[in-house]
Amino acid sequence: MNSMNFRNKYKRLVFFMKHSSLHKGWLMLFLIVLSVLACLGFGRFSFGAILPFMKDGLLLDYRQTGLIASSIFLGYLVAVLLSGFFVLRFSAKKVIVASLLVISLGMIITANAPNFFVAYMGSFITGLGSGGSYVPSLGLISQWFSPKKRGMAMGTAMAGSGVGMVFSGFAVPAIVVINIDQGWRISWYILAFLVIAIALINWLFLKDKPEDAGLLPIGATNNNPTSINTLEEPLVKPKTVYSNKTLWFIGSIYFLWGMSYLIFSTFLVDYLITDVHFTSQQAGNFFAAAGVASIISGFVWGSVSDKLGRMVSLMIVFFTQFFMLMGLSFTTDSLLIFMQVIIYGSTLWGVPTIMNASVGDYIDAKYIPVAMGFVTIFFSAGQLVSPIITGFLIDYTNSYLSAHLMSAITCFICGLGCYSLFHFERKKASSFKLEV
């Protein structure tokens, strides 16, 4: 009876979708948000909320904890390097669904980890699935949205990361209160179940291309059917991306920010518990508050970058994060920390949103998917080394001060890099006008 009811509800939902006047691209964007929620919100950023309890449960020191965190990003880096090949070989939808299932497998292994080595392997597998689903998910935005709508769509997709932070920030400490010894393991099981559910939803409803439904991308017209086949463009020549000096410069900035932001997103809860002496519930609430503030950050800063320009917007974001991280380093007042966490969170996903949108400003449209993967490699490398360096600094100094200062200074350097690129572009544009 239950099976029959499910089939009837599924048929009614499919019928509604087929006959709805709403462009199916909006449904695809919702599914992409769910995918980002699973691969980033649950697969990566929930680690920051679970970390303190997992560290205590497995009797880890900070170097081991940093290595486990870096294993997620090692897996992520490997997946980013390979995901493009698998998308071309199979399809974005198949790679996304398979990768989400890999995430759930990694979570289950981590939940059952008796020691450092098994936790390391489980986290590595989780990272593989995370990178394997994230890059194809953003690639689908290029299929379903025209360039003039793409920044908004990318910013909306990044909201999934913030939702994951909110959920884990509230849920994990509550679960740990109920079961002190096994709460962190139960948390991984719950997240694995949610990721499996999202994989099933994507398998049922996600489509690779608008023409599969007889549609054009949102924002495109019959006279300008932009970016329908960008993922399957047979003439892509990677050397046109890899020889682009501006993309290398942008990638270098992305690398530094990958090192910087991870200290906040991974170690905030543990910092608030160990250095500021918050309760686990208070620390989790602050982490969740940052997640709430971050939900619309990608959308907001993506829109701002459309008005002010990419590098100017990034410069504002980086300098804002610099000041917030400096403040976080030298205050223990809960109200000030809350304000700093909220402001930092409100800029958090602005960086990857603007970075991915800026790629199209410096490369031909048909090379955008390759270029996005290229700059993401830099970002992944920054995430990979950050937990190792952070763990060493915390163990060596016995506090988070040096780690926060490193994170803040790195943001300041990123801001200077954006200013220099903006200044170079403006000077180049002025020279061009004079020549004309």
pLDDT digits (tens, 9 = 90+) for 241-251: 778 888 899 99
Does 271 score more than 80 pLDDT? yes
3-state helix/strand/coil string of 50-114: HHHHHHHHCCCCHHHHHHHHHHHHHHHHHHHHHHHHHHHHCCHHHHHHHHHHHHHHHHHHHHCCC
Looking at residues 331-345, what average pLDDT do you find? 91
Higher-pLDDT residue of 218, 246: 246
Separation between Cα atoms, residue 410 and residue 405, nearest integer Å: 8
Instruction: Give the per-residue pLDDT at 53.
Output: 85
Measure the CA–CA gap between 326 and 331, rounded to whole angstroms.
9
Tell me the per-residue pLDDT of 29-82, one tens digit each, with 9 for 90 and over.
899 999 999 988 888 878 877 878 888 888 888 788 888 888 888 898 888 888
Residue 4: per-residue pLDDT: 61
Q: What pLDDT sits at residue 121?
A: 94
Q: How confident is the model at residue 2 (pLDDT cuts 50, 70, 90)?
A: low
The three-class DSSP label of residue 355 is helix
Q: Is the pLDDT of residue 236 over 80?
A: no
pLDDT at 344: 94
Residue 123: band (very low, low, confident or very high) from pLDDT cuts 50, 70, 90 = very high
* pLDDT tens figures, 200-213: 999 998 887 777 66
pLDDT, residue 180, reads 77
**218 bridge partner residues:** 145
Do 113 and 122 meet the contact criterion of CB atoms below 8 Å apart? yes
Q: How confident is the model at residue 6 (pLDDT cuts 50, 70, 90)?
A: low
Cα angle 55, 284, 100 (rounded to 5 degrees) comes to 70
Identify the pLDDT of residue 18. Answer: 53
Between residues 333 and 172, which one has the greater pLDDT?
A: 333
Across 381-389, average pLDDT: 84
